[in-house]
Chain A
Amino acid sequence: QLQLQESGPGLVKPSDNLSLSCSVSGGSISTTNYYWGWIRQPPGKRLEWLGHVFYSGSTNYNPSLKSRVSISIDTSKNRFSLSLTSVTAADTAVYYCARLGYDAYVGLVSLWGQGTLVAVSS
């Protein structure tokens, strides 16, 4: 059974870079069937799609964050990563990694990680 697990610091200072990883277990990340993505939820706010990556390394990003966000994939380690630069308090959120794709629709989240809370504070 495929599982996703986020890892990374729970506290980041303003203006620093946020880096998170998502380890995939129980299956290979090198599949043409799915994309792999990041979604976040600031406290009291709605879920926000950050972007996603294909096993080939091809990426798509939310334009509202495009200049600050980067998603990469490491098929040898069966994991993918999120980098968000120059963070502010507005980037405080629960960050979810996700497997994307269901019934051929890339935009559907077929599996979510448990989520990790990242606070931006000095």
Chain B
Amino acid sequence: EVVMTQSPATLSVSPGERATLSCRASQSVSSDLAWYQQRPGQAPRLLIYGASARATGIPARFSGSGSGTEFTLTISSLQSEDFAVYYCQQYNNWPPWTFGQGTKVDIK
């Protein structure tokens, strides 16, 4: 099973600042890496897939990069609605597809 490790566990950022989240895979997952956002009290939603492609309707301030085992999600200028928990997920190796433990982005 591919283990996904996210860092940091919590990231405190001021509105308007940049946030950089990391995700590492225990073995190569090529570019089969997705990011999801979960706001408080809501279901997760797909943000990024293919390591860098934005899902439909996702603002351009969200960007993803990386391949192999190291990935990054960057939020260029944090808006109030971006304070949430972010999960990475690999869908390269089945079974099973696996998630990271999440990074919480909160207000500094």
Contacts and interface: CB of A to CB of B under 8 A. Distances in A.
Contact of B55 (A49, A64, A102): A102
Nearest to B38: A112
Contacts of B55: 102
A4 B66 CA distance: 32
Contacts, number: 63
Interface residues of A, number: 23
A107 B49 CA distance: 10
Contact of A107 (B4, B32, B45, B101): B32
Contact of B87 (A47, A105, A113): A47
B95 interface: yes
B95 A47 contact: no
A49 to B, nearest CB: 4
Contacts of B101: 45-46
Nearest to B102: A46
A108 B91 contact: yes
Interface of A: 45-49, 60-64, 96, 102-103, 105-110, 112-115
Interface of B: 1, 4, 32, 34, 36, 42-46, 49-50, 53, 55, 87, 89, 91-92, 94-102
